[in-house]
Amino acid sequence: MPSTSEEKTEENVPELPEVETVVRELRPRLVGRRITRVEASALPLRQPWSSAWNRAVTGRRVRELSRRGKWIIIQLDRAMHLVIHLGMTGQLTVVAARTPRLPHTHLVFDLDRGTRQLRFRDVRRFGSATLYPNAAELAHSFDESGLGPEPFAVSSKYWCDRLGTTKRCLKAILLDQRVVAGVGNIYADESLFEAELHPARLASDLADLEADRLRVAVKSVLRQAIEQRGSSIRNYVGGSGLKGRYQDEFRVYGRAGDPCPCCRTPIARIRLAGRSTHYCPKCQRSSSK
């Protein structure tokens, strides 16, 4: 867990493993159900919920749930897509309607006969819920944002080409959603440790073998985190309301001053790309080995 006051106040947006966990846990709870009523609080999310969307989604059945980067995509009848971003503190769960409603619940979707509800709770209100009338408009929105490929679909050639043509540091590259979608602060640190690469190294300085080692490490770390249902540091819970367990597996993130699990050197913390960055000075040297 974070060990300095600065780290304790630094928020982390749920990353790919957390969002994937929410999708996997909501899928059996939502697919096939019909939205029968929508209730929105008076406090707006980052993207204000439109009253016109209440009418548009009412009566629509949930056809599928998927993920793109850090976005949750709920496909409805007539090709409508409800797209949700959890922001920093968002929680999306399906619960019995009789379950007491927690503070900061900003959207409630009654399902079927109203015995169960899909609830979106967000303390900080940096999350969003947006309705797209069809798949083409959703795809256009993602294209306009320049959202990069999914980590599991990144080829060695693409990765080496992107890293070889930029003078930015590796930490900044991993955080850039235009390069690869879904990776954030936690899994950038953990992936760089897995690949034995210093976070401040310039991407263009890497040999192709080093760059590919990082590509493989990102996929490996993300898969491990998904198996553990993501990382619950503060607000994150899965679609079932349960917390993740990967925070117990952190090797460098949030462990400044603790011994490296491989060599016992104290984990260091610096600031890169505007984020706290954790690494082992011995295992992740600043130049190639």
Cβ–Cβ < 8 Å for 14, 236? yes
Residue 168 appears among annotated catalytic residues: no
pLDDT of residue 5: 34
| Residue 185 burial (CB count, 10 A) | 23
C-alpha angle 146-148-153 in degrees, rounded to nearest 5: 155
Taking the mean position of all CA atoms in its chain, how far away is CA 85? 9
- Spell 71-83 as b/e; 16+ CB within 10 A means b: bbbbbbeeebbbb
Torsion of CA 143, 83, 178, 267, to 10 degrees: 180
List the chain residues with pLDDT less than 50. Answer: 1-9, 289
> How many angstroms separate the CA atoms of 17 and 224, rounded?
9
87: left (phi over 0), alpha (psi -120 to 50) or beta: left
pLDDT of residue 8: 41
> How many angstroms separate the CA atoms of 225 and 217, rounded?
12
pLDDT of residue 235: 86
Residue 70 appears among annotated catalytic residues: yes
Cβ–Cβ < 8 Å for 16, 183? yes
Cβ–Cβ < 8 Å for 36, 114? yes
From the candidates 29, 60, 67, 70, give the one annotated as an active-site residue. Answer: 70
Domains and CATH numbers, the chain: 7-145 (3.20.190.10), 148-279 (1.10.8.50)
Taking the mean position of all CA atoms in its chain, how far away is CA 48? 21
Residue 28 appears among annotated catalytic residues: no
pLDDT of residue 233: 84
Strand partners, 37: 110
From the candidates 2, 7, 14, 269, give the one annotated as an active-site residue. Answer: 14
What predicted TM-score, i.e. pTM, was given to this entire model? 0.93
> How many angstroms separate the CA atoms of 7 and 211, rounded?
28
Instruction: Report the first-to-last Cα separation within the chain, whole angstroms.
Output: 30
Q: Which residue has the tokens 């409805």?
A: 76
pLDDT of residue 10: 56
From the candidates 15, 20, 190, 210, give the one annotated as an active-site residue. Answer: 15
| Residue 281 burial (CB count, 10 A) | 14
Residue 37 appears among annotated catalytic residues: no
Element (H, E) at 129: strand 128-132
pLDDT of residue 234: 81
